[in-house]
């Protein structure tokens, strides 16, 4: 401890006495002390420390004192304290003499220059003395390891190409393109209607790639408010704004470093954020919100959309340069109506999963039920197929699902399409009136409701979606279907 010239004489004397008293206290109460000079040579050890010499391999004190500390004390950090000038107040030191709790304190001259280091052995049997602390630390470490394993599991791809069920020409072509895409690090753009399995394919491409051991991170752009998307993508610097986490927050690009980032519903990305995404993809670097520091990343991007990006580009709602940057390896995922031959296999797998989740024996479809499923248009594709099968499974009293049960579910949903003409209603249709399929009538009602909402909001689609109680993405989807 250095003297302070600004202190009065009595204060100076008290400070010197305190330093001497503290030194004597540690020298007598500790398990051992040693001093090294500015060249990291041992210059002194106290009586308690001498008892460690035989265990360290030294018979005489002069074989230890006067030698570089790194040669006589294995795993020492005394030289680090000399280099940095910063103390190491609590540390565990393990060598041939055992495991010790130690403290290392730099010594300075009057000018503040480090001239040596004082090493103190606080405990020589930490497993006994610090047992409660060590147990608590071990428990915290186990919890941390468990959390890391769980997080790694969640960020691992859930599906492989074998999970994409189907042997139709359309399904086989998608698998072929996905395998080819997995061998590249270029962006992939998955195009297809909602419910066709685009996210499953993104998982499968990642699982078949060289990045399979790294994280798979996904973000549904349509599900994140526009004001939060930038932070979601690029992260937030510590204290970037009022209420921000003091430790900052990592964005999805950083979380997916070394792996794959899946951008679902890319067609819903706000126009204002598109230039920043384009720059990140082109330069391979990002800037956190509230920071001017550029952070490089190594992430493969897979994007997906059910929207017509070419039409959005033409309307000025999607940047053309971003479209070309994403559309390097486009894969069109065929709708279910173009691969009807895959429906029996898909239905079997879906019913097995439904039974497994509900803890029931597996369900079976009779031949007429399969034919009924194959005759539908499936506007919701595989997602809609699963919904119909799950409803039918919940309504049946046996493990066999018949055509009548499938038809009833479809009719209740207003989408039934029966191959044969339905029986006439009792009393017949009103004179001069032709009955239309229920699906057409529902579409007409939707068309009128959307038009009324747009007129009421002056053509503002976001406001119209709120008025109708649906998401913005759902409104765009319905507009495309009713046009």
pLDDT tens, residue by residue, 97-106: 888 888 999 9
Cα–Cα distance between 42 and 116 in angstroms, integer? 10
Average pLDDT score over residue span 249-270: 92
3-state secondary structure at position 144: helix
Task: Give me the chain's average pLDDT, please.
Answer: 83
Cα–Cα distance between 387 and 362 in angstroms, integer? 16
Q: How confident is the model at residue 39 (pLDDT cuts 50, 70, 90)?
A: very high
**CATH 1.10.8.60 occupies which residues in the chain?**
337-413
Q: Give bridge partners of residue 114 from the DSSP assignment.
A: 108
Cα–Cα distance between 289 and 241 in angstroms, integer? 9
Cα–Cα distance between 159 and 199 in angstroms, integer? 9
Question: Which CATH number does the domain 337-413 belong to among 3.40.50.150, 2.30.40.10, 1.10.8.60, 2.60.40.10?
Answer: 1.10.8.60
**CATH 1.10.10 occupies which residues in the chain?**
438-482
Q: List the one residue out of 419, 470, 463, 472 whose CA is nearest residue 446.
A: 470
User: Could you give the angle at which helices 461-468 and 472-482 cross, rounded to 10 degrees?
Assistant: 100
Lowest average pLDDT, out of 112-121, 123-132, 167-176, goes to 123-132
**CATH 3.40.50.300 occupies which residues in the chain?**
161-238+248-334
Cα–Cα distance between 211 and 299 in angstroms, integer? 9
Average pLDDT score over residue span 170-192: 95
pLDDT at 239: 63
> What percentage of the chain has pLDDT greater than the value 90?
44
pLDDT at 275: 94
- In words, the CATH class of domain 9-123 is alpha beta
3-state secondary structure at position 482: helix
C-alpha gyration radius of the chain: 35
* Burial track 212-239 (b if 16+ CB lie within 10 A, e otherwise): bebbbbbbebbebeeeebbbbbbbbbee
Candidate ranges 17-31, 137-151, 156-170, 319-333; pick with highest mean pLDDT = 319-333
- Please say if the pLDDT value at position 336 is more than 70: yes
Question: Which CATH number does the domain 438-482 belong to among 3.30.70, 3.30.1370, 1.10.260, 1.10.10?
Answer: 1.10.10
pLDDT at 157: 64
Provide the token pair at 275: 């230039």
- Please say if the pLDDT value at position 270 is more than 90: yes
- Please say if the pLDDT value at position 116 is more than 50: yes
- Please say if the pLDDT value at position 366 is more than 50: yes
Does the domain at 161-238+248-334 match CATH 2.70.170.10? Answer given as: no
């Amino acid at each position: 401890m250095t003297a302070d010239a600004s202190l009065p004489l009595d204060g100076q004397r008290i400070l010197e006495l305190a330093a001497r008293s503290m030194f004597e206290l540690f020298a007598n109460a500790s398990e051992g002390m040693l001093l090294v000079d500015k060249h990291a040579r041992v210059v002194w050890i106290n009586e308690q420390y001498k008892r460690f010499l035989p265990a360290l391999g030294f018979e005489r004190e002069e074989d230890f004192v006067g030698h570089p500390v790194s040669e006589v004390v294995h795993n020492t950090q005394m030289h680090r304290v000399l280099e940095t000038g910063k103390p190491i107040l609590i540390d565990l030191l393990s060598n041939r003499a055992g495991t010790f709790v130690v403290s290392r304190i730099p010594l300075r001259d009057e000018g503040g220059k480090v001239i040596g280091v004082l090493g103190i052995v606080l405990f020589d049997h930490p497993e006994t003395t610090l047992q409660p602390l060590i147990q608590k630390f071990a428990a915290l470490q186990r919890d941390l390891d468990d959390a890391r394993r769980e997080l790694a599991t969640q960020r691992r791809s859930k599906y492989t190409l074998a999970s994409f069920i189907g042997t139709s020409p359309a399904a086989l072509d998608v698998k072929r393109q996905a395998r080819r895409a997995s061998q590249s690090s270029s962006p992939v753009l998955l195009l297809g209607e909602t419910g066709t399995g685009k996210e499953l394919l993104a998982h499968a491409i990642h699982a078949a790639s060289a990045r399979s051991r790294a994280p798979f991170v996904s973000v549904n752009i349509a599900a994140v408010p526009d004001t939060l998307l930038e932070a979601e993508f690029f992260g937030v610097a510590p204290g970037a704004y009022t209420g921000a986490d003091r430790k900052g927050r990592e964005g999805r690009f950083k979380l997916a470093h070394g792996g794959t980032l899946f951008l679902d519903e890319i067609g819903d990305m706000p126009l204002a954020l598109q230039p920043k995404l384009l720059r990140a993809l082109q330069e391979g670097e990002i800037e956190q919100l509230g920071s001017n520091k550029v952070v490089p990343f190594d992430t493969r991007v897979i994007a997906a959309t059910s929207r017509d990006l070419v039409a959005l580009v033409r309307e000025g709602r999607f940047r053309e340069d971003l479209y070309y940057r994403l559309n390097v390896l486009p894969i069109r995922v065929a709708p279910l109506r173009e691969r009807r031959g895959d429906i029996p296999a898909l239905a079997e797998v879906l019913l097995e999963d439904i039974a497994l989740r509900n803890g029931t024996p597996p369900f079976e479809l009779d031949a007429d039920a399969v034919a009924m499923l194959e005759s539908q248009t499936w506007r919701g594709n595989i997602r809609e197929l699963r919904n119909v099968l799950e409803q039918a499974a919940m309504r049946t009293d046996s493990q066999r699902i018949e055509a009548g049960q499938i038809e009833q579910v479809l009719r209740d949903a207003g989408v039934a399409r029966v191959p044969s003409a339905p029986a006439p209603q009792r009393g017949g249709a009103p004179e001069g009136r032709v009955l239309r399929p229920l699906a057409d009538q529902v579409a007409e009602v939707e068309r009128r409701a959307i038009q009324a909402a747009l007129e009421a909001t002056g053509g503002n689609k976001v406001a119209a979606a709120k008025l109708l109680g649906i998401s913005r993405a759902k409104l765009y989807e319905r507009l495309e279907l009713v046009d």
